[in-house]
Chains A and B, each alone.
Chain A
């Protein structure tokens, strides 16, 4: 009897605790809604768009670029929306290139009713699990950078991207390597991530089909600094091209250590090598390194835009900046259209989600955007770049369209 009494006491305490917590949450919500009301008085109803990208960690240079690109587009559309009676606001989240962090952020974003869309993520490995959460909240996302096929192949209603898919990026790179560079023996290295492995496999299969022979296929571990073991194998196989599916931190070290070993075959990689980090880490050794990128060189094709970016943030745009800009523009166009269709009021998230997917022939700064039924952009292209010296970006040397 006695122990039962204690049990009851504990149970009661637990209930009280839960209630207190619930009350805390409740008052929290109350606060935020009152904030919204006061916001409504000053500048109209707040529409929030979240950005999710790694703002810290090894890919922070590109993650920051995504945030700033989205910011620029949002600022450009502020006036347009204030005429309709809405205030735009960007809420940047740091996903740390970590799937767990991305999902946790996604839950937070989904719970905030003022958020109507998400720009992000950078890494496919984060985009994929996070998109499941957005699907639950009917929250449309447009990724300016995630290229893994699985991202859109699950046919989620919310997942869209403006860039090309890996299964096109890989083959486009392979096509260039085999047809233009005449590479016969290719060594493929991947970093065991969803992105790196997907890209490396797509490249390997396409290169085989195009007639090249794959003399080796090996993996490395993200975060390590010594890749001499794998490179010794590369050296003994004497390939005329090394393809690397992975991020720039490892890619740059591979380039450098390959040069240390006296390997002369150039290294080719995917869009993740499209970073000034390559030149910083590898220094002069980076010259000759090739990368295929889903991002074109905006400083060449639209200098005006690049200058406005430079003026606003006092740093030059990275490859993804302009795609984040276009993603945000597509998102805002869809939001605007669904507001107009809804008689000037902000519609439910489902409506915005469908409006994003229905985007047709949108003229962005970098690319035209038309989403197909899976959320892939029909106009996405792949560009081939080459580092000429220890400076970023490399120069665009070829362009492959679908």
Chain B
């Protein structure tokens, strides 16, 4: 028990960082589902593409010396913006090419198209990455790699000190900023109203002179841009990326969206943090809790068991009904 308390500050910090990434990626799943009732499985790959675009810009700028002439925070912001524009456009393109022709087809067909898109993206990115380096695992330097110590032991002697990377704080800050901005956009702006209207009833919305196609394009753009931004944060945090990072992460982000109640934006954010912290907690404490018979390798089993238990008692997800409108 003491061990668990001792490591708790560190577990919470790492879990929050991972959870923030899950949360923002989960937004992309939940927004598209809210509007089209389509599970866009290619979203994990959009996240991955964002990570690659960001890293490519970073490496290119470092190669030409441009990086040194800009302050790092501005450079970081610039990379994120470029990656967001790129993945946003990519998301819109995917919607236009793969999903719009199938909009009237049964849901299962669009789902399979989503799988197809995700395989294509994986292999295209792998191909391009291999062209340049001969190896598709790409490493980059971290702009904010400094480490600092968080003296949690001064609060209570039960807690141990935690170490934080500056980038972890950036992830948390950026994720919160993006989520608050999205929440306000959806709930306060004219386009947000249109999005909620389309989510509620597409046909009636179109009768109210809402351009449904434009709203859908906007949804894909925003969702994908958020995914791309998270990709950059992820690449900066872990320093190494490969074309297959989107799959496992996408699965977990999707799970987070389901946990929070799919279609619900605040639910997705909450679900992301819950899954991230649960996973981190399980991977550092399962061994202690079970006396060594189940180790850290069962962390996903643990996190997903919680998901199943929640869904048994609340099939619509944690926030599924608390908020009526969905986007």
Of B6, B11, B292, the contact of A229 (CB 8 Å cutoff): B11
Distance A236 CA – B300 CA, assembled complex (angstroms):
22
A217 in contact with B295 given A228-B280, A232-B7, A281-B137 (CB within 8 Å): yes
- Chain A: interface residue count, which band? 20 to 34
- Could you tell me if B284 and A232 are in contact, using CB atoms closer than 8 angstroms? yes
Interface residues of A in 39-81 (CB under 8 A from B): 56, 58, 60-61
Q: Which residue of B lies closest to A60 (CB)?
A: B135
Give how many B residues have a beta carbon under 8 Å from the other chain's beta carbons: 44
B240 lies within 8 A of chain A by Cβ: yes
Per-residue contact bits, chain B 230-241, to A (CB 8 Å; 1 contact, 0 not): 000010001111
- Could you tell me if A225 and B292 are in contact, using CB atoms closer than 8 angstroms? no
Determine the chain B residues whose CB is within 8 A of the CB of A232 once the complex forms.
7, 10-11, 14, 280, 284
Determine the chain B residues whose CB is within 8 A of the CB of A227 once the complex forms.
283
| Interface-located stretch among B53-61, B73-81, B172-180, B242-250 | B242-250
A219 in contact with B11 given A225-B240, A230-B283, A262-B163 (CB within 8 Å): no
- Could you tell me if A281 and B239 are in contact, using CB atoms closer than 8 angstroms? yes
- Could you tell me if A253 and B11 are in contact, using CB atoms closer than 8 angstroms? no
B85 lies within 8 A of chain A by Cβ: no
CB distance from A253 to the nearest CB of B (A): 6
Of B14, B281, B285, B297, the contact of A226 (CB 8 Å cutoff): B14
B165 lies within 8 A of chain A by Cβ: yes
Distance A274 CA – B112 CA, assembled complex (angstroms):
40
A218 lies within 8 A of chain B by Cβ: yes
Interface residues of A in 226-255 (CB under 8 A from B): 226-230, 232-233, 235-236, 249, 252-253
A226 in contact with B7 given A218-B297, A233-B287, A283-B139 (CB within 8 Å): no
Q: Which residue of A lies closest to B10 (CB)?
A: A232
A229 in contact with B240 given A58-B137, A236-B6, A283-B141 (CB within 8 Å): no
Determine the chain A residues whose CB is within 8 A of the CB of B288 once the complex forms.
233
B84 lies within 8 A of chain A by Cβ: no
Distance A109 CA – B183 CA, assembled complex (angstroms):
58
Per-residue contact bits, chain A 252-293, to B (CB 8 Å; 1 contact, 0 not): 110010001110000000000000010011010000000000
CB distance from A324 to the nearest CB of B (A): 18
Q: Which residue of A lies closest to B167 (CB)?
A: A260
Determine the chain A residues whose CB is within 8 A of the CB of B248 once the complex forms.
221, 223-224
Determine the chain B residues whose CB is within 8 A of the CB of A230 once the complex forms.
283-284, 296
Determine the chain A residues whose CB is within 8 A of the CB of B3 once the complex forms.
236
CB distance from B168 to the nearest CB of A (A): 9
Distance A233 CA – B281 CA, assembled complex (angstroms):
10
B279 lies within 8 A of chain A by Cβ: yes
- Could you tell me if A277 and B137 are in contact, using CB atoms closer than 8 angstroms? yes
B18 lies within 8 A of chain A by Cβ: yes
Determine the chain A residues whose CB is within 8 A of the CB of B126 once the complex forms.
56
Distance A249 CA – B138 CA, assembled complex (angstroms):
11
Distance A232 CA – B13 CA, assembled complex (angstroms):
11
Determine the chain A residues whose CB is within 8 A of the CB of B14 once the complex forms.
226, 228-229, 232
Distance A225 CA – B233 CA, assembled complex (angstroms):
13
B43 lies within 8 A of chain A by Cβ: no
B299 lies within 8 A of chain A by Cβ: yes
CB distance from A167 to the nearest CB of B (A): 22
- Could you tell me if A261 and B10 are in contact, using CB atoms closer than 8 angstroms? yes
CB distance from B97 to the nearest CB of A (A): 26
Distance A252 CA – B240 CA, assembled complex (angstroms):
10
- Could you tell me if A220 and B280 are in contact, using CB atoms closer than 8 angstroms? no
B103 lies within 8 A of chain A by Cβ: no
B282 lies within 8 A of chain A by Cβ: yes
Determine the chain B residues whose CB is within 8 A of the CB of A220 once the complex forms.
296-297
CB distance from A190 to the nearest CB of B (A): 8
A236 in contact with B18 given A223-B248, A225-B238, A260-B165 (CB within 8 Å): no
A101 lies within 8 A of chain B by Cβ: no
Of A224, A236, A253, the contact of B160 (CB 8 Å cutoff): A236
Determine the chain A residues whose CB is within 8 A of the CB of B282 once the complex forms.
229
A216 lies within 8 A of chain B by Cβ: yes
A208 lies within 8 A of chain B by Cβ: no
Q: Which residue of A lies closest to B240 (CB)?
A: A281
Determine the chain A residues whose CB is within 8 A of the CB of B160 once the complex forms.
235-236
Which of B6, B244, B284 has the most CB atoms of chain A within a 10 A radius of its CB? B284
CB distance from A88 to the nearest CB of B (A): 27
Determine the chain A residues whose CB is within 8 A of the CB of B139 once the complex forms.
280-281, 283
Determine the chain B residues whose CB is within 8 A of the CB of A56 once the complex forms.
126, 130, 136
B147 lies within 8 A of chain A by Cβ: yes
Distance A293 CA – B119 CA, assembled complex (angstroms):
36
- Could you tell me if B135 and A61 are in contact, using CB atoms closer than 8 angstroms? yes
Of B141, B244, B297, the contact of A221 (CB 8 Å cutoff): B297
CB distance from B146 to the nearest CB of A (A): 10
Distance A223 CA – B300 CA, assembled complex (angstroms):
14
Distance A164 CA – B297 CA, assembled complex (angstroms):
28
Determine the chain A residues whose CB is within 8 A of the CB of B242 once the complex forms.
58, 249
- Could you tell me if B135 and A277 are in contact, using CB atoms closer than 8 angstroms? yes
Interface residues of A in 175-233 (CB under 8 A from B): 192, 216-221, 223-230, 232-233
- Could you tell me if A249 and B137 are in contact, using CB atoms closer than 8 angstroms? yes
Determine the chain B residues whose CB is within 8 A of the CB of A281 once the complex forms.
137, 139, 239-240
Q: Which residue of A lies closest to B280 (CB)?
A: A229
CB distance from B303 to the nearest CB of A (A): 11
Q: A221-B248, A229-B299, A261-B163 are in contact. List 4 more A-B contacts (CB 8 A).
A: A224-B248, A229-B280, A229-B281, A232-B284
12 residue pairs bridging A and B, Cβ less than 8 Å apart = A217-B292, A218-B287, A220-B296, A224-B248, A226-B238, A228-B284, A229-B14, A229-B299, A230-B296, A236-B6, A249-B240, A261-B163
| A residues lining the B interface (CB < 8 Å) | 56, 58, 60-61, 192, 216-221, 223-230, 232-233, 235-236, 249, 252-253, 256, 260-262, 277, 280-281, 283
